[in-house]
Amino acid sequence: MCGLSCPSGYHPISYQCNTSCGSCASGTPNQTQCDANPTSGSFNQCGLSCPSGWYHDYAQCNTTCGPCDGSTPNEAQCQQVPTSGSFYKCGLSCPSGWYYDYAQCNTSCGSCDGSTPNEAQCQQVPTSGSFYKCGLSCPSGWYYDYAQCNTSCGSCDGSTPNEAQCQQVPTSGNFYKCGLSCPSGWYYNYAQCNTACGPCDGSTPNEALCEKL
């Protein structure tokens, strides 16, 4: 089909230039070959972003997906997101309902100097309690009340936090959270500086008291 995207339910497997889709003087691709997404298993596709319900666990360079110097990946192997357990995926984000608690550098995901992580371990968001995750944001319905520096989440000099403890948003009452914003349905009317949320000189607030609207 003309253009460089596929309809919902399909993924691109090659790009080419076709005069029926426009000028090909520059050799820039203007046509995509699309294949239907399978119902299970895995598939390879051009681009490093997999459809919803899938994640990519391997990246490579393929000339059918565009110019290829062998070092910059342009094709992903997509795997189906499991219903439980955990999994590793390229990139430092996890699908909805999952969070990542460990990051590493893996040559299967692209160039790897050993210091900059490019692969995340994804864990399922629990139904209650609390959990630690890499990054300083929590999924919808959760807030973070403690931040720390953890080498499992990337380089760590001990002063800049890169991991948050996520707590479930209560149904009533109030709570303190790191950062100066509150979840939907809550507002903050008091702010303070707390070393549990990061570096604190005592003058710049970094923690909010959230009250129910």
- How many domains does one find in the chain? 1
Within a domain: 161: yes
Reference 54, options 106, 90, 105; nearest CA is 90
Within a domain: 181: yes
Q: What is the pLDDT of residue 72?
A: 84
Q: What is the pLDDT of residue 202?
A: 72
Q: What is the pLDDT of residue 27?
A: 80
pLDDT digits (tens, 9 = 90+) for 79-127: 999 999 999 999 999 999 999 999 999 999 988 876 789 999 999 999 9
Token output for 20 = 């029926």
Q: Which residue has the higher pLDDT, 27 or 142?
A: 142
Percent of the chain with pLDDT over 90: 80
In one-letter notation, the amino acid at residue 143 is Y
Percent of the chain with pLDDT over 70: 99
User: 69-73, 129-133, 141-145: which range is least confident on average?
Assistant: 69-73
Q: Side-chain half-sphere of 192: how many Cα atoms within 13 Å?
A: 10
- Strands 31-36, 42-46: pairing kind: unpaired
Q: Is 53 exposed, middle or buried (0-12, 13-18, 19+ CB in 10 A)?
A: exposed
DSSP state of 196: G
How big is the CA angle at 3 (ends 36 and 57), to the nearest 5 degrees?
Answer: 50
Instruction: Count the neighbouring beta carbons within 10 Å of the beta carbon of residue 131.
Output: 18
pLDDT (mean) for 8-28: 92
Within a domain: 195: yes
Within a domain: 139: yes
Within a domain: 166: yes
Within a domain: 118: no
Q: What is the pLDDT of residue 70?
A: 67
Cβ within 8 Å of residue 208, ≥6 positions away: 176, 177, 179, 180, 181, 182, 188, 190, 191
Within a domain: 183: yes
| Residue 26 binned pLDDT confidence (cut-offs 50, 70, 90) | confident
Q: Which domain holds residue 203?
A: 127-213
Instruction: Count the neighbouring beta carbons within 10 Å of the beta carbon of residue 28.
Output: 12
pLDDT (mean) for 138-150: 93
C-beta of residue 188 within 8 angstroms of C-beta of residue 211? yes
Q: Is 82 helix (H, G, I), strand (E, B) or coil?
A: coil
Ordered alpha helix ranges (H), 31-113: none
Within a domain: 180: yes
CA distance 107 to 211: 46
pLDDT (mean) for 27-52: 94
